[in-house]
């Protein structure tokens, strides 16, 4: 109970801090003036990123001798991301539970493959971050200086209590990592579980189609970026933002979701709004962008989770009858 309430509470507190003086009556007008074509295309990229992640999982499970249904892997990803809205990082466990139930893939081994996937994704984030920071160093430096407690040159960011948000977010990540490591130490006490878990982590070394794994990994992150970047074309005030600016904003948002709040709510808004202001977008427009984009993408994740929960047992029941 506490583990589910605290992340939500942290997100709500940070969001309140950011939007305390925001005029929400402007949201309706912004929605009416949005370019819905690009908005729809961005959501399609979001959906396909999850599909690719499900397909990629098949590649890491195959060396272990397990071949779950492709649809079950995709549905499990939908459910995992939706579960993370309720309790950050529980999705990694839930997707393994789904395959254990419907395709008899041992939980420990599938969890090991998930950890390996996350390590690969971390490397991708590091690579993208390095590229974005190299291209937009001056903006990155200004953001870190203001968020970290330096002399703040932007009144709107200062009003958000940048150093406090930054510090609280770091503390939350530290607490989450401590709890995670403590759980892992308990897991490793069970020898059989640990052996299977290790087998799952090492499955990538036995993978036959590594080129496909690399291609799907790049595809996943390309879809993530396009889902975010195409939102620029939905709002006129984003005309001042370049592709490089989009990459830096995407990186900032991707790092912000590490903070254990539902879908990064709060820290994500803070990072995106702060950097957009540095690029010259007004505080009001930046706040509108962050609110609309994050809310709609979160709704998409929730809807996909509900869709998968309904279709998963139904599709497997129909397959069993055949």
Residue 267 has pLDDT above 60, yes or no: yes
Q: From residue 292, give the alpha-carbon distance in Å to each of 31, 120, 122, 306.
A: 8, 30, 27, 21
- Domain count for the chain, please give it: 1
> How much of the chain, in percent, has pLDDT values that exceed 90?
48
pLDDT, the chain, mean: 82
Residues 143-151 have a mean pLDDT of 61
**Cα separation of 111 and 104, whole Å?**
13
Confidence (pTM) = 0.82
For residue 316, name the pLDDT band (cuts at 50, 70, 90): confident
Residues 285-313 have a mean pLDDT of 94
Give the long-range contacts of residues 282-286, CB within 8 A, separation 24 or more.
Answer: 282/237, 283/156, 284/22, 284/23, 284/26, 285/235, 285/237
**Cα separation of 168 and 156, whole Å?**
19
For residue 1, name the pLDDT band (cuts at 50, 70, 90): low
Residues 107-123 have a mean pLDDT of 86
**Cα separation of 156 and 199, whole Å?**
50
Among 3-17, 30-44, 100-114, 181-195, name the one with the lowest average pLDDT.
Answer: 181-195
Give the domain range for residue 123: 2-321
Residue 257 has pLDDT above 90, yes or no: no
Residues 82-111 have a mean pLDDT of 87
Among 2-6, 245-249, 262-266, name the one with the lowest average pLDDT.
Answer: 2-6
pLDDT of residue 180: 52
- Torsion-angle region of residue 239: left (phi > 0), alpha (psi -120 to 50) or beta? alpha
Residues 109-133 have a mean pLDDT of 89
**Cα separation of 106 and 139, whole Å?**
46
Higher model confidence: residue 301 or residue 113? 301
> How much of the chain, in percent, has pLDDT values that exceed 70?
79
pLDDT digits (tens, 9 = 90+) for 62-82: 888 889 999 999 999 999 999
CB hemisphere CA count around 301 (13 angstroms): 21
Residue 300 has pLDDT above 80, yes or no: yes
């Amino acid at each position: 109970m506490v583990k589910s309430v605290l992340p939500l509470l942290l997100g709500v507190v940070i969001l309140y801090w950011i939007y305390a003086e925001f005029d929400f009556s402007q949201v309706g007008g912004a929605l009416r003036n949005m370019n819905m074509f690009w908005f729809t295309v961005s959501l399609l990229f979001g959906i396909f990123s999850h599909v690719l992640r499900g397909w990629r999982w098949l590649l890491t499970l195959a060396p272990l001798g397990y071949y779950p249904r492709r649809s079950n892997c995709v549905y499990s990803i939908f459910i995992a991301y939706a579960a993370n809205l309720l309790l950050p990082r529980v999705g990694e466990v839930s997707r393994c539970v789904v395959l254990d139930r419907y395709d008899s893939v041992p939980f420990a081994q599938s969890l090991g493959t998930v950890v390996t996937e996350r390590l690969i994704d971390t490397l991708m984030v590091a690579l993208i971050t390095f590229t974005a920071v190299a291209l937009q160093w001056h903006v990155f430096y200004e953001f870190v200086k203001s968020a970290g407690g330096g002399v703040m040159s932007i009144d709107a960011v200062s009003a958000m209590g940048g150093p406090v948000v930054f510090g609280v977010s770091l503390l939350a990540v530290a607490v989450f990592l401590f709890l995670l490591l403590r759980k892992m130490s308990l897991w490793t006490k069970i020898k059989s579980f640990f052996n299977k878990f290790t087998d799952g982590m090492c499955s990538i070394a036995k993978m036959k189609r590594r080129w496909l794994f690399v291609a799907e990994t790049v595809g996943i992150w390309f879809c993530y970026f396009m889902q975010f970047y195409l939102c620029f074309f939905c709002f006129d005030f984003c005309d001042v933002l370049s592709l490089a600016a989009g990459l830096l904003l995407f990186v900032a948002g991707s790092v912000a979701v590490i903070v254990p709040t539902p879908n990064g709510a709060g820290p994500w808004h803070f990072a995106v709004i702060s950097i957009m202001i540095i690029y010259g977008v007004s505080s009001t427009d930046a706040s509108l962008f962050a609110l609309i984009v994050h809310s709609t993408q979160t709704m998409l994740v929730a809807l996909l989770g509900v869709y998968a929960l309904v279709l998963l047992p139904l599709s497997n029941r129909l397959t069993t009858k055949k």
